[in-house]
Structure 1
């Protein structure tokens, strides 16, 4: 049994060392390519996102449409269809939109 544990431990050490060496070689190659301006797999240099011009501010909200919605809400409240709390919630939504 001690021989089996020793073999497993040796395998783990070898595998860990191989992984560490492989990672170091990869980092070194990437550093050299970056310094020389070369990129692996003909990928070319990393592309930056294109600059987007800021959009023009949107036109002010159509107040006539909001006024009509508020009138309709007022009528529904007067008819008893909406409670005071429901009316206030809907009014807030219309004004925020």
Structure 2
């Protein structure tokens, strides 16, 4: 998390000021961000984008929304800190690592 917080990430920028969030039903609400412009382009094609640090992006994401970094890569990284209380996040991380 410390590395993510200080790293530059890239996300698709809609026409109006907003964050693009997908509602995946039982899997929750998620936003995607990417570690490189190239990974963003592979996901969204040529698009407008913004860049910011991971920490600054997390401040913009509303409560109840998770962030998935590089969702299609093997090294994908879910950031669950805005999805629930610390105990809910800890349980989700435990399940994710137990499944690996």
TM-score by structure 1 length?
Answer: 0.19
- Higher helix fraction (1 or 2): 1
**Structure number with higher relative contact order (C-alpha < 8 Å, ≥ 6 residues apart):** 2
- Higher strand fraction (1 or 2): 2
The structure with more radius of gyration: 1
